[in-house]
Structure 1
Amino acid sequence: MAAVAGHEDTRTRLLATALRLFTAHGVEGTSLQMIADELGVTKAAVYYHFKTKDEITEAVVEPGLRELESIVGEAARERRVGARIDHMLAGFVDLVVRHRALVALFSSDPGVARALEKHFFGKESCMVGMMTILTGPDPDPARVVAAHAAVAGIALAGGSPDLAHYDDDTLRESLLEVGRKLLGRPRRRG
């Protein structure tokens, strides 16, 4: 059991290190050797966990995507359209705030974009489910554009280094307010 815990700890540290290096240097600018050096292990130890940098990149983004899939599923189970939209919006904002560094990479790094293409933009993807919830049935073009502007804007702003000085609660409330405005949702009371 201790070996499994050690394996998971090394993997967790490897992914956290990779994210930190990806944030500083980009996926393309980060080598497996850099990750190994930062961890204080051999490159072979990195290869033990992942065969390629693409595998590492996919593993770095996977928890956020899994969480988003869960939020989409929860929102879809809400009975009322407004409740589905509100749940989706609040869940997405929380996800963006919790994973600021990763979200910043989503929008700025081609290596992360490649990893996302497999999971996020396909026909049966999270993005399709999220947009279906946010636009509702038979949306007009303005509603579709508003939903895309809300999602992209929340992600870009939430991951922006220019807003990194805001604490989580301030950023969360501000992103929610902007999202509500773009989606035509009433303001939350109290």
Structure 2
Amino acid sequence: MAARPAAPDTRTRLLETALELFTRHGVEGTSLQMIADALGVTKAAVYYHFKTKDEITEAVAEPALRQLRTVVHEATALRRRGAQVDHVLAGVVDLAIQHRALAAVFSTDPGVARALERTLHDEENVKECLTELLVGPGEDPAAAVAAHVALAGIALAGGSPALAAVPDEELRAHLLEVGRRVLGRPRRVTRG
């Protein structure tokens, strides 16, 4: 007899359900009662795992944020600035593609920004490190604008319903190309 895959635990199902509801209704438009109803449990069961919707939002985002922290740590370990920028760009694109539903919610819902402000400004200040890696040394307003446009654009495109049918690898190639151009890092053309 073949072993059945283990059913996801209640907490995992809760987070998956919350993300689905956030995608459809936004964070602000999703209540704890809606999550409980979609799961077929009581609101008390939701409260057992999370006390607030902000806690749920943070938990939904945690795997992607953990990956983002890893990308930042890996990039800071690289010696060349160009390698750092390329690593951050590729890492952010990969995250947007791997977590398309989350990228859609992150880039369009103001409730996410409020809930994640604490998480993104943790002791390492990942958001600031990410921007510094893309902008580089000095205070160059044009480079800062380019970094913010690239990051926001990647998130918007990665989560865009209009691009949902684009295969991951194709979307990845386009996002990398556009991101490189926005950041002033056009791909070098090698001649045969």
Q: Given the two structures, how large is their TM-score scaled by the length of structure 2?
A: 0.88
Alignment of 1:148-159 (within 5 A): 148-159=148-159
Secondary structure of the equivalent of 2:165? coil
1:119 paired residue number:
119
| Alpha-carbon distance in structure 2 between the residues aligned to 1:148 and 1:11 | 34
TM-score by length of 1: 0.89
1:82 aligns with 2:76: no
Cα RMSD of the aligned pairs, angstroms, is 2.0
Shift of 1:168: 0.8
10-19 or 46-55: bigger deviation: 46-55
**Farther off after superposition, 115-124 or 141-150:** 115-124
Equivalent in the alignment of 1:58 = 58
Alpha-carbon distance in structure 2 between the residues aligned to 1:13 and 1:110: 24
CA contact (8 A) 2:57 2:116 kept: no
**Secondary structure of 1:148's aligned partner:** helix
Letter in structure 2 aligned against 1:36 = A
Which residue does 1:167 correspond to in 2? 167
- SS of corresponding position for 1:180: helix
Q: Distance in 1 between matches of 2:105 and 2:125?
A: 19
More helix by share: 1
How far does the alpha carbon of each residue in 1:6-37 deviate from its partner, in whole angstroms, 9 at most, with x for none?
A: 8x721111100000011111112212222112
The share of aligned pairs that are identical, in percent, is: 67
Gap regions ≥5 residues in structure 2: 1-5
Distance 2:139 2:182 in 1: 14
The code of the aligned residue for 1:102 comes to L
Residue 97 of structure 2 corresponds to 97
2:47: which partner in 1? 47
**How far 1:186 moved relative to its partner?**
3.7
